[in-house]
Structure 1
């Protein structure tokens, strides 16, 4: 049995769950640094007398960085390793977030938010790769959804920082707290192993063998002494045309629509949510309180998606969650009493973030191994374009004729379109091996 076969036969155990938690904490810090800007913007806009369009530019600057980081991180991780890329991007976005606390004007903050986004965009695909390459095949989907659930924990942390600190210590303190994750890199570096598949690709067979032996011992299995490397395949440079070949054309088109729509709706809604609620007459403190409760609703949304994705399938879970998030967004946009707004906002958060977990599971399943990372990376990059556009479009709508209700009607239409696309054109991958899907 070769090294990869040995790795895949190891049942889920303490190593896998510890890796999930450690990698998930990095994912959580990603979300916390992303979420902090949403909670800072209402106070910052007032302090610096920013226009709605300028607020939108600040939100979009980070997403431009995320798009570039996502595109470049895959090739960088293939050159220097998943572990080094994970650590370096964590340090980059943490330090850049801390520097945002000493930003002196609008332009300096835009530049710093771009750097934050570049680090964040680079880390997310690396985290997914690490967990995917170590998770047992029969539990890979659930592990990825659970990894994505740490995003909800990060937004919750950002909401708590905003609720507890900003009213008393100012918006700068939120950014300074965002620099703390840089210290986490020391623990991460000492415990997280390099990807076995990466090591084998680089010819470091002995190191890969030692890592697998250690995991085998942790799982109560007898380590195999023979260092048998899997058959090597000739390296082929992926071309953009590969993901548009006839057998993958529909899959790529569907994925690009899904990614664009879900990222557009998520960043358009949640980057602006505190500011929009302040604009509706809520105090900053009350807004943070309500958004904190809505953020809490994200966690059961992830867990529900993790439970359903292997039972009713990817299409039903993803399409259903997106459609229900669209319904919730529509009624949230109608306003009403604080209780009604809180109810629909929480449901919108529950279903939208549950859908995110399924997207991260579904995307790599639709491509064969030779173009899996390449195709997934391009889908994520197209999604970031939606994330770049959404905050700016909302800003212009607020300056023009668009209001709270019209903005959320727009997001309702986008999410419904994506849900219909999934139902009509998506392929079901539940219960199939990756080889079966790739045919």
Structure 2
């Protein structure tokens, strides 16, 4: 049967179009790496500069997260109504404006509001990366292209640390306003480039029954990828239209349930995704909220953080190599390996403390990256097109909702014992490891869209 995945493999292929899309969309992941690292350092600096108490420090961390949650929820529905491209362009433009405006903030109250608003608009773009990449790449490269987003995320953290050498004196002092302005350059570039070089995904056009537009875009992409001899035939167009109509028929049947990702067919996977994403976000927050305080307590400069991120990138290349290999990697196996590594790293960090600090943090960062990657990719592969943005947006939103209260118990635990939070995370990683055993929707090397009859 002719399907878009088959056309993607035999006609469109992989080339300039996919790499261009990865680069532009990946700038948001690049900024995501900047933002979460910057958030922890900003909190440490403002605590000292503005003399914030413990509750104010926790609220500053939670405001950005709460905004991101609202943005993820907005993306869950706006991307299907407005389209992937329009949503991306609008909200990267708003993110660019807000990130520069934040650098002029002079009060705690204003900073809370700005971080909340920035989280909202930036959070709307975050789920789009995996949605875009999964919908434009061939099955045999889908994992690697998706993992390319994670590599750009790590590059963002490395870029940020280099900026810290120029703008900051330590983890608790420096020119944070100048740092924010430089942080705004990548998201501004994403906005400008998206205006001219990002296309709406073909799958979205087909789902909206915009067949002529879809066929025209396919021809353009084929030429971009230098496959000029692989033009669409009338038989291809007819087959695509028939395939699309069957997809839409299934969509209408699904809408009868009114429960979307919580309908009977997807409820189990949805609840598993939510639980794993909540626990992974809690682990992630334990790193980003506490890392500057741990490094400052050990009188460390920015060099150890930079070295850790560089090594993290090198190890991430290993995951890049095996993500599409069903024998040595694949989605589920990487989740299991990552959860097991979290259990070991958190346990050893709690026991050996300062002597294991840098190695432990590095292992935790690699493991959480592996989990976030597979969660993002698996959600795209699990849900059909008409539920994909809803599924991805809600998974990310629910995951961060679970992490919003984290500053209110991580900081108190930290002030009792700096390594007590890692003891808690060691216990929670056992839950992650257990839950990963129940996933069964691994589409490694398989087509993204399949009809029920297939």
Q: TM-score, normalised by structure 1?
A: 0.88
Show the counterpart of 1:296.
Answer: 310
Equivalent residues of 1:149, 1:357 under 8 A apart? no
Distance 1:238 1:165, change over 3 A: farther
Show the counterpart of 1:194.
Answer: 200
Equivalent residues of 1:30, 1:154 under 8 A apart? yes
Show the counterpart of 2:182.
Answer: 177
Shift of 1:66: 1.0
Shift of 1:369: 4.3
Show the counterpart of 1:117.
Answer: 119
Shift of 1:161: 1.8
What pairs up with 1:344-363 in 2 under 5 angstroms? 344-363=360-379
Show the counterpart of 1:71.
Answer: 73
CA distance in 2, matches of 1:249, 1:30: 29
Equivalent residues of 2:146, 2:373 under 8 A apart? yes
Equivalent residues of 1:36, 1:159 under 8 A apart? no
**Partner SS, residue 272 of structure 1:** helix
Show the counterpart of 2:440.
Answer: 427
CA distance in 2, matches of 1:38, 1:158: 12
Equivalent residues of 2:92, 2:125 under 8 A apart? yes
Which region of structure 1 is more displaced relative to structure 2, 67-76 or 326-335?
326-335
Show the counterpart of 2:279.
Answer: 261
Shift of 1:50: 1.3
**Partner SS, residue 126 of structure 2:** helix
Shift of 1:367: 3.2
Show the counterpart of 2:222.
Answer: 216
CA distance in 1, matches of 2:80, 2:264: 28
How big is each residue's C-alpha offset from its partner over 1:280-331, in whole Å with a ceiling of 9 and x where there is no partner?
A: x233xx2433222222233234322232333333222111112212322333
CA distance in 1, matches of 2:256, 2:286: 32
Show the counterpart of 1:94.
Answer: 96
Shift of 1:422: 0.8
Equivalent residues of 2:27, 2:187 under 8 A apart? no
**Partner SS, residue 302 of structure 1:** helix
Distance 1:210 1:4, change over 3 A: farther
CA distance in 2, matches of 1:4, 1:389: 42
Equivalent residues of 2:316, 2:366 under 8 A apart? yes
Show the counterpart of 1:129.
Answer: 131
CA distance in 2, matches of 1:437, 1:273: 47
**Partner SS, residue 383 of structure 2:** coil
Shift of 1:202: 3.9
Show the counterpart of 2:8.
Answer: 7
Shift of 1:413: 1.7
What pairs up with 1:27-38 in 2 under 5 angstroms? 27-38=29-40
Equivalent residues of 2:4, 2:203 under 8 A apart? no
Distance 1:14 1:315, change over 3 A: same
Show the counterpart of 2:21.
Answer: 19
Equivalent residues of 1:96, 1:112 under 8 A apart? yes
How big is each residue's C-alpha offset from its partner over 1:374-432, in whole Å with a ceiling of 9 and x where there is no partner?
A: 33332222111122122332123345xx3212111112222221012112x22262455
Distance 1:4 1:310, change over 3 A: closer
Which region of structure 1 is more displaced relative to structure 2, 288-297 or 43-52?
288-297
Equivalent residues of 1:6, 1:212 under 8 A apart? no
Structure 2 residue 423 is matched with structure 1 residue 409: yes
Which region of structure 1 is more displaced relative to structure 2, 20-29 or 177-186?
177-186
How big is each residue's C-alpha offset from its partner over 1:311-360, in whole Å with a ceiling of 9 and x where there is no partner?
A: 3332221111122123223333445556x422222222222212222222
Equivalent residues of 2:376, 2:392 under 8 A apart? no
Shift of 1:221: 4.0
How big is each residue's C-alpha offset from its partner over 1:79-135, in whole Å with a ceiling of 9 and x where there is no partner?
A: 222222112222222322222222222221111111121122111122222211111
Shift of 1:165: 1.2
Show the counterpart of 1:252.
Answer: 270
Match of 1:377 among 375, 381, 393: 393
Structure 2: gaps (5+ residues): none
Structure 2 residue 345 is matched with structure 1 residue 343: no
CA distance in 2, matches of 1:100, 1:407: 31
Superposition CA RMSD, Å: 2.7
Which region of structure 1 is more displaced relative to structure 2, 344-353 or 237-246?
237-246
CA distance in 2, matches of 1:107, 1:12: 48
